[in-house]
Structure formats: C-alpha cells, structure tokens
Amino acid sequence: MGWLREWKRKRVLKHHAIDDMLWQRSRKYLPFLKGLSPAQERRLREMAVIFLAEKEFTPVRGLQLSDQDRVEIALQACLPILELGLSWYDGWVGVVVHPSDFKVSRRQTDHDGVVHEWQDELAGESWPGGPVVLSWEALDDSGSVPEGGANVVIHEFAHKIDMLTGEADGVPPLPSREARERWLKVFDAEFDRFCTQVEKGRDTFLDPYASEDEAEFFAVASEAFFESPNALRGEYPRLYELFKGFYRQDPAQRLKS
Ligand SMILES: [Zn+2]
C-alpha cells in the first residue's frame, strides 16, 4: 500500500500548498518557526499540507476554524517530526478542537476496590490510536509569545510520539538497545533532578506539572525544546542533547539570535 499512499500524497501536493502569505502570517504567530533552512521550511510546509489532507479536524461546541487556524495547528504538529517523517503520526486521524479547556470524567478503582470518580479540566489530551484533543483557548495562548515555552500542540503530539512504543512513559521509539539505555540513563536522571527541585519548592524553568510522571516530563520538555530551546539547553544541557539527537534538530542553534 506504500505506493498508493505516495501517489495520493504527490497528488495532494500537486494541487495544494501553503501560500507565501499564509506561511508568513503563521511565522509571525509562531516565532519558533524562524531559522529553518530553506529545505526544512519547504519540507515542513509540504508535511503540513499532507497532514491537513490526511487528518480529520473536528471543531466542536460551535467553534469555527479558519484555514489559517488549521495551518497553524498542522505546522506545530509537524515541527517535531520534521526530520523523523509523517509516518510517526500513522494509525489515527482525528484532531478534535474545543473552544476552551474541557472537562473529562475519570474513574479509577483502587487496591481496596473503592471506585474513585472525578473530573479533570484539560487543555489537551491524546489517546493511543485515538484522536488528539486540543483547547483552542490554550492553543491561542501558546506560540504567540516568543520564548514563552508552552505549546499545547507540541505537548499533545509529543505524547503521540511517546505512545508509539505502547504506553506513554517518556521513552519514544529509539533505534537500538544502546540508544534506549542511554535515553533511560540521562532522561531518568534529569527527571529525578527536576522532581527534587519541585519537591523543594524551587522555581523551575519547566512547569512543575512536568513532575507528574515521565510522560508529562517528556511532553513539557518537548514544548520547551522547540519553543525555548536556549533556556532548556541552559537549564538541562544533557536533556537538550538527548532531545537534539532524538528529534534530529537543533532549535537552540537556529533560534540563537
Ligand atoms: Zn500531557
């Protein structure tokens, strides 16, 4: 089926493109797109076009999405996989966008058989094999502030990348056992260091929410890697290098000025 998909993608690219005006406007709102080489920029634009053709956007509760809105979501979603390839987002199609943060019901049975039920208010959510759910309000907040560090789209898509190995656990697919061992060593040490800082009540560069578990640490640090790479490199140099190797990108270099 590979050839069929390639053929369809070529057709999509033949008939659709992100025009220069839309790209320039997106770049203005998404300052972390600066510094890409012309080849990377071309690839990101093409990936976003295919992403828009293959994924199904569902705005809910009366929300309307303009072309610009969709393009901006697609560009942010594709940036992390720019050097990895669109196949990293295979196996699911839905992108659900709520107008604002949304409530989800949770239910868990503890060791004593007691059922706990509660509601969480979320800015985003993603499921293995299921859709990515985003809050437009949260999305509007992210990306617009240079070096702001928060980005709900990158956060949720980082979860998707993490989930490719099964459960979200902060360990994305890695090319070898050695690479996995190296990842666990550096990532776990940086996660422990971060959790200690949070426990001690210190001010942390990353949102303290990232201490929830390894999956959240991976997603929050991925946001910072693309949005505020220089700050991440300053605070967590070993983590930065690890991510640089994994994502095959060096955002601190391209956003240096
Ligand atoms: Zn998360």
pLDDT in tens, 209-238: 999 999 999 999 999 999 999 999 999 999
- Residue 70 and residue 52: Cα distance in Å, rounded? 7
132 Cα: distance to centroid of ligand 1 (angstroms): 11
> Residue 27 in 3-state DSSP?
helix
pLDDT exceeds 80 at position 18: yes
Around ion ligand 1, residues with a beta carbon closer than 5 Å are 216, 219
8 Cα: distance to centroid of ligand 1 (angstroms): 33
Reading across the β-sheet that carries 132-135, which strands appear in turn? 56-59, 94-98, 132-135, 124-126
What is this structure's pTM? 0.93
The amino acid that residue 106 corresponds to is R
Give the pLDDT band of residue 191 (cuts 50, 70, 90).
Answer: very high
- Residue 29 and residue 108: Cα distance in Å, rounded? 40
The whole-number pLDDT of residue 195 equals: 97
The DSSP call for residue 170 is S
Strand duo 102-109 + 124-126: pairing? unpaired
216 Cα: distance to centroid of ligand 1 (angstroms): 5
